[in-house]
Amino acid sequence: MFHRLKNDFRLSIITLLGISGLVGITPFAVLRFMQGNLLAGVVDSAILGGIASSMAYAWLTGDTRRTGLAMAIISSYGAVVVGSIVGDPGLFWLYPCLVTTFFLVGPRIAVGINLSAILAMMVVGLAFSSQEQMWSFSTTAVVVSACAYVFAHRNHSQRRRLEQLATIDPLTGVKNRRSMDEELDVAAANAERSGLPYALVLLDIDHFKKINDEYGHGVGDDVLTELVALLESNTRRSDQLFRYGGEEFVLLLPGVDGVNLRAVMNNLQQVLRKYLKHPGGPVTASFGVALLGHGESVDSWLARADNALYTAKETGRDRIVYAEEVGQPMPEPVPRAAG
């Protein structure tokens, strides 16, 4: 349970706000019934029920996106109904809701929910004892929403930037090794479920150190970016390229095996031979290729591709070596899905 709370930010917010809502609203629901205000008591109880069932749904299904939206709507419009029934004291409930919507949904949706709730409160008009009170409330509620929006928007873009810094290689713009680990896990799980074949290619530029030493690091960097451009423009959109480290890259190719895989690999090798150049001439690369076996771990898959690459380097470079050809028995292939 603590593990889920620690790793799922939205679930932890839903739980925190849900528990705060239940603890904060329950005494008022009891009070309304004791005061004989049945309608307000029933509305408070309905809000409590909505919050509790949303929280349970989020925990059971993990669908925190829909739950966040449901909780934002229930709490904001619930506050409007309560304000309209009990008047002044109910107005204050909208303020925490205006802020918490930004924790539950994206900034734009939160602004939409907030403005429509403020407008609804004004149109119904029952919560206010005077025009002045209505306009004071509406103006301060809009100011609170605007400030919360600016803060949430900044937070959102900073999080996106951090995600980018953590997952993208700054020189070439392709995903880094950290993203690769995640994507390979996803691919292995998908292969078991759907029966789709997956090929993994480890690619390493030949004699790259010499290029750096003779022409400088700037030229080496240009070769790396040119390699990425060539690979990206000669593979499918569903293929994924990662920088494994230094001058080594990983290509993840879903849906290809057998003759098709060999055709793809031969084409890539030809393209690099023809177009990848440094000031002294062409640049070549060596390739180690491994198809994911049935039930095989990602580590074993990578290790087989790495062994194949090692063989390609040892046997002269500028070569494509398939793992099953270098004395590594290919694990049983992933069974194809029926149909």
Ligand X SMILES: Nc1nc2c(ncn2[C@@H]2O[C@H](COP(=O)(O)OP(=O)(O)OP(=O)(O)O)[C@@H](O)[C@H]2O)c(=O)[nH]1
Q: How far apart are CA 160 and CA 301, in angstroms?
A: 31
Q: Give yes or no: 247 in active site.
A: yes
At 202, the amino acid letter reads L
CB 89 within 8 A of CB 47: no
Q: Which residue has the tokens 């690999």?
A: 265
Closest distance to ligand X from the beta carbon of 242 (Å): 14
Q: Cβ closer to ligand X: 137 or 208?
A: 208
Q: How far apart are the first and last CA of the chain?
A: 39
**Which residue, 82, 47, 83, 53, is CA-closest to 67?**
53
> In angstroms, what is the minimal distance from the CB of 204 to ligand X?
5
Q: What is the amino acid identity at position 193? A: R
Residue nearer to ligand X on the CB measure, 212 or 328: 212
Q: Which two tokens stand for residue 330?
A: 């290919």
Residues that bind ligand X (CB under 6 A): 171, 204-210, 212, 217, 220-221, 224, 246-247, 313, 317
Residue showing the smallest CB distance to ligand X in the complex = 220
Cβ neighbors of 278 (< 8 A, separation 6 or more) are: 211, 215, 219, 222, 223
By C-beta, is 32 or 319 nearer to ligand X? 319
CB burial of 302-338 (b: ≥16 within 10 Å; e: otherwise) equals: bebbbbbbbbbeeeeebbbbbbbebebeebebbeeee
* Residue whose CB is less far from ligand X, 6 or 207: 207
Return the number of the residue (207 or 277) whose C-beta is nearest ligand X. Answer: 207
Quote the least distance from Cβ 170 to ligand X, whole Å: 9
Catalytic residue among 247, 314, 324, 332: 247
Smallest gap, in angstroms, from Cβ of residue 221 to ligand X? 5
State the minimum distance, in angstroms, from the CB of residue 245 to ligand X: 8
Q: How far is CA 199 from CA 196, 260, 286, in A?
A: 10, 11, 16
Q: Which positions are annotated as active-site residues?
A: 247
